[in-house]
Chains A and B, each alone.
Chain A
Amino acid sequence: MKSFEFTRADDAAGAVTIAAKEKTAQQGANIRFIAGGTTLVDLMKLSVETPGQLIDINRLALDKIEPTRGGGLKIGATVRNADLANDATVKRDYSVLSQAILQGASAQLRNMATTAGNLLQRTRCVYFRDPAMPCNKREPGSGCPAITGHNRMLAVLGTSEQCIATNPSDMCVAMAALEATIHIQGPNGSRAIPIADFHLLPGATPHRETVLEPGDLITHVELPSPKVGSKQLYLKLRDRASYEFALASAAVVLEIANGSVTSARIALGGVGTKPWRSPEAESALVGQPANASNFRKAAEAAMRDAKPRSENGFKVELARRCLTHALETAAKS
């Protein structure tokens, strides 16, 4: 691991000012905030990230979960994933989020991992994680060996010919279905970005993963007021029973009245280059009877644009089954 300078930020503005000196907030940044460190330190040990300066943001008092005036929920950037998943309000009103987090990583990791860190966790693509390999995301222009190589875990939606890396987060999938908003404090003030617009598709610039600019500090995430009576479910499919990233996952928030779907918010994990909200699946469902054949149709709509590669073609059908089953189970709940 390369040597680095470590400082503890006492106020957000100070942290932003220091970080704003950096040229990028994306891959290769020399100044990094550190929260739980479970992504960053891991990548530093692998020499995938080699920052010269770390700013510890754990003392910024961003660790609260509070109701908002509008009836929503404000989740601080450094709230631990474990605390978020076990929060009584979250379990009651946003249970899909709690379920998603608890199916991710391990208890120890969830005790360290934070809200903002989870939003910014990096892909598990094996080429990305090994500096001896070419990778457009890590070293723009070096190529993408995954497209013809080991791509079983990688994405089938939102890919480009430059990168097919999966966004591995479970939490983000649930947040996409909950329409979370991400609040950022930057050198030019604060702004709020819907989660759907926060992560970028790889396109020709896979090294740019989010809209964050130098100095941008995520302060909190806001969830809109809950859909009272909605049926929520997170289903994660993987090879083994625990401690593995999703091959396919689905987060669903359904409202059903008189046997028909009145509203549906659906997002998929494990298959997209970003947490994958599926308006296609949603519009296939809304106004339709909540039954198995419509659920399957919605799942087919969600995967219509999927582009499978040499090893990950099975994900298309797996994701369909995952979403169909999630919808069926949620509808029955």
Chain B
Amino acid sequence: MIDLAPAHKIGLSLKSPLMPAAGFWGYGPNRYAPLVSAELLGAIVTNPMTLRPRRAGPSAPVAEVDGGIILPVDLPNPGLKKIIRQNRKFWRRAPIPLIAHLPADAPDDLARTVSALDALAVFAGFELGLPPDASPADAALFTRTLIRNTDLPALVKLPFPGKPHLAEAALKAGAVALTLADAPPAAAGTTAGRFFGGGVHAQLLPHLQHAAETFPGTPIIACGGIHTPADVRACLQAGAIAAQLDSVFWANPQQVQQILRYAQGAKSDDPLPSP
């Protein structure tokens, strides 16, 4: 078992170090069945949830570039009420821990979202997504807003490449683990958005290592372009104890299953066997 919140009174234990990143799985039900077996995941990180619905902007084209794609990300979601209505039944009988991903929002809205989700008693933890332009004060404010409204562990997902000053502020405010990192901003042609793809992975590794050294004892979750079992291994060796899979779900869902199978039996302190 891996504990993403060993210092927390409730803890957050996973039987596999792998989970989908927010935005890549949905809100619960396995859309990738039978290509991907949900029971091989350590947890499900939900798509972003905000109190009010957010519609995607005009559909700018996806730009395919070397190493991945650039995609406008407006965190579209149908709003908390609808998400709860559509998924509550699944959440109640979810076979693996659920982590609710909440983008930073107006503090009042964020507080109401956390309270409503916490009251359902179906989640094992929350992951707060900080925006790319967040300041340390913002990181502290959002994190405090989250933990004031729940007893569950709060993970904080940092903007790329995992800015240490934001990490420090979030940890001081009560976060128990860090996710490194959100997809980097990028632009190509008429498309401006975030860069997703295997090309992110190599850029991520030094930052993972730096975070693990700067915040010893804090669980670090790697996220960004992990497309192969070797990528998972490299992240764990760089100091992460778990990893979120993102663009590999889009590029090749069959490969996700291979990564999950490969990671079966891996322990946090035990580097994965060579692929």
A binds B: no
Q: Which residues of A contact B (CB under 8 A)?
A: none
